[in-house]
Every structure is written in C-alpha cells, then in structure tokens.
Amino acid sequence: SLKAPVITIDGPTASGKGTVAQQVAEVLSFHYLDSGALYRLTALASLKVGIDEDDVDTLVELAGDLHIVFREGCVRLDGEDVSNEIRAEHVGNRASAIAVHGALRQALIARQRAFRVPPGLVADGRDMGTVIFPDATLKVFLTASVAARAERRYKQLIEKGFSAKLDDLSRDLQARDARDSQRAAAPLKAAADALTLDTSGLSVEQTVETVVGWFRERTARE
C-alpha cells in the first residue's frame, strides 16, 4: 500500500499497551499515537469547564477546539503540560464515561489518522485495529489477568505520587473493562485479524520482542 505501515495495539486498561507501543515505536523509529490520551484530554477539559459527562454537543465542541501538542513523551493542552494530570484515575474514569458517545468518537477520528505518516506508526487504544486503522499492517491485542493489571496500575500511580488502594483499582478496572467492552460505539474487542498476547507472565522486553518479531515476519513476507 502507498500508506505508511501501522501497528495497532489494543487491549484493556493496564495490559501494557502504552509502554509496549512506545518501545516498539522506538525500536522501529516509528511515530507513536496514544489515542487514550485524546479521550483523557477531552475528559480533563470537560472537568475543567464543568460540563456533564453526557452533554454530547459540548463534548464534541470541546474536542474540536483542543489544542494538543505531543512532544518528547509529554503532552500539552492549550500550552499547559498536563502529562501527569491526565493519568489520574478520576480522569481515566471520566475518559471511559465520555468515550461511549459515538459523536465524540467521530470527532476524534481525523486527528488520530493524521498520525499515520512515514516511516510508520504504532497506535495504542481500544479501537485502533477495529475502527481507526482497519487496514493496519499488524494488529495486536494485549491482555493480562485482573490481578496483574491492578498490581501494575498500583505501582504506576504510587510512582507518580498519587495515592491508591489495590482493592479499589481492581474494582475500577473491572468496571472500566465492562463499560469499554459493552458499549455500542467501537467497543473494546480484538479485531478478527488481530494476534492476541497474554502479558501476565511476560516482561515488557519479552512483549516488545514478540511484537517487533511479528511485524518483521509480516513485512518480510510482503
């Protein structure tokens, strides 16, 4: 195809998508799209403005007006570095709540596809392989047990200086899984042609190696 290659990495919360996608992008010198950050940024903006999570018209307007810059692992919203702020659990939960709205998802499509430029892209999220890049070169679906994911998220939050309780995290991530999987608009699910990898017992390095290996196999055959 004339389009730049894309690797999509979808999966539930804390399955390792972000960490793995960034490292795969580094290995291949590809661009990286953190699509969840777009939902988190919209969520943060909606909290700041103080609108209801179901006020779709205002959410769509807000999403269209967001001035976002991704650079060197940081993200700026209207000039302000919000890299840490968008990682708070309440922002993630709000992101999941507003992500059910089809009109909002629609409003974010072009912004996401614009990341697909040479030499290639690694994109992580929930619907990268199913909706945003249905013709991706390689589609990966990462999973991990609830216990492994709650433990990972706990460590991340403590490191960022947030307080967290393992029980609450475990309950919240199961609620988020349920909502993300059951919504009508672009639900969380593996694309029919995705390769699934359970990372519960894998290190980040092993996961990255597996994905890069799959990509090299696939492009060697073409």
Q: Which positions lie near ligand CDP, rule CB under 6 A?
A: 11, 13-20, 35-36, 39-40, 92, 95-96, 99, 125-127, 152, 156, 176, 180, 199, 202-204, 207
Q: Is 139 assigned to a binding site?
A: no
- Rounded to 5 degrees, φ, ψ at 5 are -65, 150
Q: Which is nearer to ligand CDP, 19 or 46 (CB)?
A: 19
Q: How many whole angstroms separate alpha carbon 121 and alpha carbon 127?
A: 15
Q: Is 13 assigned to a binding site?
A: yes
Q: Is 11 assigned to a binding site?
A: yes
Nearest residue relative to ligand CDP (C-beta): 36
Q: Which is nearer to ligand CDP, 133 or 215 (CB)?
A: 133
Kindly state the smallest distance separating residue 173's Cβ from ligand CDP, in Å. Answer: 7
Q: How many whole angstroms separate alpha carbon 61 and alpha carbon 63?
A: 5
> Tokens in use for 212?
């890069």
Residue carrying the six token digits 């433990």 = 151
Q: Is 16 assigned to a binding site?
A: yes
C-alpha radius of gyration, the chain, whole number: 17
DSSP secondary-structure letter at 13?
Answer: T
Q: Which residues are annotated as a binding site for ATP?
A: 11-19
Instruction: Please report, in range form, the residues annotated as the binding site.
Output: 11-19
